[in-house]
Amino acid sequence: MKSSLSALAILAVTLRSSLAAVAPGINNFVTLDITNKQLAPDGFMRSSYITSAVVRIVLTGDTIVDTVVANGRYPNPPIAAFKGQKLITTINNHLTDTNMRVSTSLNLDGVFTTSANAFNEVAPGNSYTYTHDLGNQAGSFWYHSDLGVQYVDGFRGPLIIYDLHDPHRSLYDIDNLSTIIQFGDWWHNASLGMLAGYEATGVVPVCDTGTVNGVGRFNGGPEVPWSVVNVIPGKRYRMRLINESARNVFTISIDQHQLTIIEADGVATQPLTVDVLEMLAGQRYSVVLTANQPIANYWINAPFTGGSPARNLNQNATLSRGILRYQGAPATDPTTPMTSGPADGIVFKEADLRPLVPETPPQPDITLNLDLTFVPGKVIWNVNNVSYVSPKDPTLLKVMAGQVDASTFDVTENTFILPANKTIQIEFPPTDDDDAHPLHLHGNNFWVIKSMTGDINDVNPIRRDTVGVGGSGTIIRFRTDKPGPWFFHCHIYWHKAAGLATVLLQDPDASRSTVQPSQAWNDLCPTYNALPADQH
């Protein structure tokens, strides 16, 4: 990965130097070569031969199915940037394996992008350069393909935006690329086949393996060495936890260590110490861990839920884990049992989080009620009785063509037109169970007025960009100060593919006037539309 971060900046991040001594450049150039590669994060090399939804047998002569990765790695290489930079990312699409999507796209989850960077589909053999002004954002983010369910095949990695003047800097000693811990679901089958199976049966695919920093094990599989996070006794670490899964909910703990939350989805929070932290798909947290225990190896526990294990006999959530290794400890597994985490202790509740800087959101000007429902007997999720279908002509192109109103958009675009500089409240009704849909809003974040398991808090709620919807109901609130058609969807990507999404179109007039298309941008759609069907 090429980057304009100076050698001094990279050294500062890598060697734990004070970031305040670094003067990063204005532009940060990154190149991601998107390729197919044969990888086996859990020791299993993917094959296109499938005998059933549960059991896989690899026979001589089977077609080996690749993965989709950036720069040949899974997880993809970390992108390191600094607050205030422009992140200029070039995607070179070298995909060829039509068992999966061979076009691609790039989404920086949680970054306040411009609408011109949204919904860009890069055809195979082509390149595209995205420019993101990072502005005042800092924290833990991630990037992935946003084309269909392609990131199931591996195109996903961390994006960390460092703050030279981090208000939490006094709480930790070390924050570098080695303190990123990524949690993901891994699938032995290629995404297109699983999506076709889902559409045919209505049964959401169940992953084979849970991974920690790209490493995992499954029932009966090889004993792939666990991922190891190294620490020095007495040091305090800012661990950046990222759930990069397409479905799974991970419950994170580290034996004999507490975790102090200081950030949620790129927003600084008041420190909150817990023993157990639940993370939905797409969510991120920074936690401070103090290496104050005897020199030894400790389990990083990451059991997950995401469908019935009976539907995939490979799955064993107990094997979703890594190792926290103190300097001076032997290079062996911990001697303690593998558990799902502490039997007692402080369990994280989202409603207990508070912003570091107190902020009372304005009262709503407009309230929307969104009801999420599944259509029995069909592979369809609805939002207010509408299942989202990606339009032939992108929403932004319709906005740029001239004045718009509700009649401009297909019903299945599920587009809500919102006026500029208003406060919008979205209310999700209670459900009969506590299963959470992780709803994620592109290009914005929002105040969480009511978490799905908490009470209303409109005095000092946290901001984030991915929130659980379900249980006793969820309420969020945001300002329409970022013009553009913003996708608002479930981060269970199988649900997204089945229509669980809307478009929140903020200030269409400003959207039209602020987008200045380049020739490369104008060429994207005709190039993509001219592709044969198997190259979409």
Biggest CA pair distance of the chain: 67
Judge whether 428 lies within some domain: yes
Q: How high is the pLDDT of residue 81?
A: 96
Residues 139 and 39 in one domain: yes
Q: How high is the pLDDT of residue 524?
A: 84
Residue that finishes a domain, picked among 317, 348, 379: 348
CA dist 124 → 41, 75, 369 (Å): 25, 21, 40
Q: What is the C-alpha separation between 248 and 211, in angstroms, rounded?
A: 11
Q: Are 144 and 244 in contact (CB under 8 A)?
A: yes
Residue that finishes a domain, picked among 284, 318, 348: 348
CB count within 10 Å of CB 40 equals: 15
Within 130-213, residue ranges assigned H as helices are 191-201
Residues 302 and 178 in one domain: yes
- Which residues are paired to 526 by β-bridges? none
Residue that finishes a domain, picked among 290, 316, 348: 348
Judge whether 357 lies within some domain: no
Three-class HEC string of 18-60: CHHHCCCCCEEEEEEEEEEECCCCCCCCCECCCCCCCCCCCCC
Residues 486 and 338 in one domain: no
Q: Please name the helix (run of DSSP H) or strand (run of DSSP E) that holds residue 108, with its range, or none.
A: strand 107-109
pLDDT tens profile 249-292: 999 999 999 999 999 999 999 999 999 999 999 999 999 999 99
- The single-letter DSSP state of residue 88 is E
Residues 115 and 196 in one domain: yes
Give the angle 391-395-397 at the CA atoms, nearest 5°.
Answer: 115
What is the residue-wise DSSP string for 246-274? SS-EEEEEETTB-EEEEEETTEEEEEEEE
Q: Which residues contact 90 (CB under 8 A, 6 or more apart)?
A: 29, 30, 31, 32, 127, 128, 129, 130
Residues 325 and 397 in one domain: no
Q: Are 72 and 37 in contact (CB under 8 A)?
A: yes
Q: How high is the pLDDT of residue 118?
A: 65
Judge whether 334 lies within some domain: yes
Residues 331 and 377 in one domain: no
| pLDDT tens per residue across all 536 residues of the chain | 544 444 334 434 443 444 444 557 799 999 999 999 999 999 999 875 443 333 333 333 456 789 999 999 999 999 999 999 999 999 999 999 998 999 999 999 999 987 667 668 899 999 999 999 999 999 999 999 999 999 999 999 999 999 999 999 999 999 999 999 999 999 999 999 999 999 988 889 999 999 999 999 999 999 999 999 999 999 999 999 999 999 999 999 999 999 999 999 999 999 999 999 999 999 999 999 999 999 999 999 999 999 899 999 999 999 999 999 999 999 999 999 999 999 999 999 999 999 999 999 999 999 999 999 998 878 899 999 999 999 988 899 899 999 999 999 999 999 999 999 999 999 999 987 767 999 999 999 999 999 998 999 999 999 999 999 999 999 999 999 999 999 999 999 999 999 999 999 999 999 888 887 788 888 888 888 888 888 88
Residues 297 and 393 in one domain: no
CB count within 10 Å of CB 533 equals: 6
Residues 505 and 388 in one domain: yes
Judge whether 356 lies within some domain: no
Strands (E), 123-255: 127-133, 139-144, 156-162, 180-186, 209-212, 228-231, 236-243, 249-254
Residues 123 and 168 in one domain: yes
- Which residues are paired to 134 by β-bridges? none
Q: Which residues contact 183 (CB under 8 A, 6 or more apart)?
A: 210, 211, 212, 241, 242, 243, 244, 245, 248, 250, 252, 279, 302, 304, 320
Q: What is the C-alpha separation between 61 and 39, in angstroms, rounded?
A: 18
Closest residue by Cα to residue 256 from 301, 222, 214:
301
Residues 442 and 344 in one domain: no
CA dist 238 → 143, 171, 175, 523 (Å): 20, 8, 5, 42
Q: What is the C-alpha separation between 8 and 467, in angstroms, rounded?
A: 37
End-to-end CA distance of the chain: 26
* CATH number of the domain that residue 446 is part of: 2.60.40.420
Q: Which residues contact 408 (CB under 8 A, 6 or more apart)?
A: 398
Judge whether 236 lies within some domain: yes
Instruction: Give me 43's structure tokens.
Output: 């020791």
Judge whether 487 lies within some domain: yes
Judge whether 24 lies within some domain: no
pLDDT tens profile 378-433: 889 999 999 999 998 889 989 999 999 999 999 999 999 999 999 999 999 998 77
Pairing of strands 501-506, 107-109: unpaired
Residues 329 and 370 in one domain: no
Dihedral through CA 255, CA 220, CA 65, CA 243, nearest 10? -20
Domain residue limits at 260: 29-348
What is the residue-wise DSSP string for 392-404? SS-HHHHHHTS--
Judge whether 167 lies within some domain: yes
Residues 378 and 486 in one domain: yes
214 backbone φψ class: left, alpha, beta (φ>0; ψ -120 to 50)? left
Q: How high is the pLDDT of residue 9?
A: 47
Domain count of the chain? Answer: 2
Q: Are 224 and 320 in contact (CB under 8 A)?
A: no
Report pTM: 0.94
